[in-house]
Structure 1
Amino acid sequence: MNALVLPGVYAPQDDTALLAEALRAEPMPPGARVLDVGTGSGALALEAARLGAEVTAVDLSWRAVWTARLNAWLNRLPVRIRRGNLFGPVRGRAYDVIVANPPYVPAPDAGPEPRGRSRAWDAGHDGRLVLDRLCRDAPGLLRPGGVLLLVHSALSGPDRTLELLRAAGLKAAAVNRRWIRFGPVLRSRAGWLRERGLLAPAEESEELVVIRAERPC
């Protein structure tokens, strides 16, 4: 999954690739409306556009917005890219598929909102600063039969994600999992995660989980 990445923008990694696999597995009739929330470099938005979807991408970071626009231009793919906080720029619209690879890493000494580059991965003390908002707001933007595809770490409570999405009336399940070695961020805070009981003493990898939630027709 090649994409140009400007400094300060989240580069596509294992979580992006895992979510792209789930996206490719979804039936995607031409003209299906797809929303990529927190698009970063635009990699998932471009993947959806290649599948024939009508794609909108949103990110809070201006650097990410310009990176995604540049990648769409370089790949000659039509993607609408908007700057805004989660669903703010698309209120009142409905989608066949929503994809999200949000910040999900638990962070020590977390303030009310992460700042700078860490905004791409830090997500509060429990890793759910953005996840809970996605679970609350995404169901209202799905068309009947629409699907939310969401990836995050098992450290951030996938059972809680499933619980919230089911409570919102969606049919939700974990559809893909993959273990990966710690990257620099998790290596730097492994001691803190072990103190909290989220990691075993010798554990040096995390499990990524893709959750699929469908709005009944």
Structure 2
Amino acid sequence: MTSESLTRTPPPRCWTATGVYRPQDDTRLLRRALRREGVTDGAEVLDLCTGSGVLAVESALLGGRVTAVDISRRAVFSARCNALLNRRRVTVRRGDLAATVQGRRFDLVISNPPYVPSPHPGPARGAARAWDAGADGRLLVDRVCDAAPALLRPGGALLLVHSHLCGVEPTLSRLDRHGLRAGVVDRAQLPFGRILRSRLAWLRERGLVTDRTPLTEELVVIRAEHA
């Protein structure tokens, strides 16, 4: 399949409950990487932090046997509804990342976790739980990296999307320390959205943004596999 046909293929139908992360630019970027991965019939796929479940459904449409996980009850409900809406079978579980699939290994693990640096101490609540991830934005990203080696079968791969604001090199280094070979396979540049614009003063205090820095965010998809 060519890159042009990947772009033209319509995404799954998607409905999201109030408070659930709606598919956005990071979802579309990860979807592009997912489709390039070449999911084969019967491949075991795990979607961590599934949110609306749209990428879990996409994986099922490609032929994967999909398990989707989210800690949010509303996200779990949305993902189950979207699987029904698209007439695809997806096993959706509520739980804390990989805790619900202990002992299982997968051919592909995909994740679009919360990664936005937050000035608010403590765990995020309400709708913000879908994007806030601690002062450095790595609260969930690091945990996905730590869980990946035990989740991947030999020859399996992790696809993880996040912002440059929570650090690309720390992710690559962390995966490397776990014995995974990792690299950036896709990028996209986009203007700051509403949440980041509302935190400009705080981002500048932390040195994540300067007066000379363009108010743009780079999203990256990182792919990792056992070295």
Note whether the superposition's TM-score is higher than 0.5.
yes
TM-score scaled to structure 1, two decimals? 0.96
**1:200 CA drift (Å):** 2.8
Cα deviations by residue, 1:162-193 (Å, 9 ceiling, x for unpaired): 00101111110011111111111111101211
1:22 aligns with 2:33: yes
What value does the CA root-mean-square deviation take over the aligned residues?
1.0
For the residue of structure 2 that corresponds to 1:193, the secondary structure is helix
Task: List alignment gaps of at least 5 residues for structure 1.
Answer: none
Q: Secondary structure at the match of 2:50?
A: coil
Q: Deviations over 1:83-128 (max 9, x none)?
A: 00101110110000000000000001321x1111111100001001
Q: Partner amino acid for 1:91?
A: Q
Aligned equivalents of 1:114, 1:143: Cα separation in 2: 32
Q: Distance in 1 between matches of 2:56 and 2:163?
A: 21
**Residues 1:84 and 2:109 aligned together:** no
Cα shift readout 1:28-64 (whole Å, capped 9, x = no counterpart): 2210000000100001101101110000000000000
Q: Check if 1:3 corresponds to 2:1.
A: no
Higher mean displacement: 28-37 or 192-201: 192-201
Q: Deviations over 1:59-91 (max 9, x none)?
A: 000000001100100110110000001011101
- Specify the code of the residue in structure 1 equivalent to 2:147: D
Using the TM superposition, give the Cα deviation of residue 139 of structure 1 relative to its aligned residue in structure 2, in angstroms.
1.3
Aligned to 2:207: 197
Q: Percent identity?
A: 57
1:110-149 to structure 2, matched below 5 A, reads 110-111=121-122, 113-149=123-159
CA distance in 2: counterparts of 1:154 and 1:116, whole angstroms: 24
Which consecutive segments of 4 or more residues in structure 1 shift more than 4 A?
A: none
Scaled by the length of structure 2, the TM-score of the pair is 0.92
Q: Which amino acid aligns with 1:213?
A: A
Corresponding pairs, count: 215
SS in 2 for 1:128: coil
2: distance between equivalents of 1:4 and 1:59? Answer: 16
| Residue aligning to 1:93 | 104
Distance, in Å, in 1 between the alignment partners of 2:99 and 2:144 is: 12
Report the equivalent of 1:159.
Answer: 169
Work out the CA distance in 2 between the residues paired with 1:18 and 1:200: 26
The letter for the 2-side match of 1:200 is T
Q: 1 CA distance for matches of 2:207 and 2:125? A: 26
Task: Show the counterpart of 2:5.
Answer: none
Corresponding residue of 1:214: 225
Q: CA separation in 1, counterparts of 2:77 and 2:87? A: 15
1: CA distance between counterparts of 2:157 and 2:205?
A: 37
Question: 1:90 corresponds to which letter in structure 2?
Answer: V
* Further displaced range: 198-207 or 120-129: 198-207
- Look up the SS of the partner of 2:66 in the other structure: strand
Q: Distance in 2 between matches of 1:29 and 1:152?
A: 25
Question: Aligned with 1:55: secondary structure?
Answer: strand
User: Residue 147 of structure 1: CA displacement?
Assistant: 0.2
| 1:52 equivalenced with 2:60 (yes/no) | no
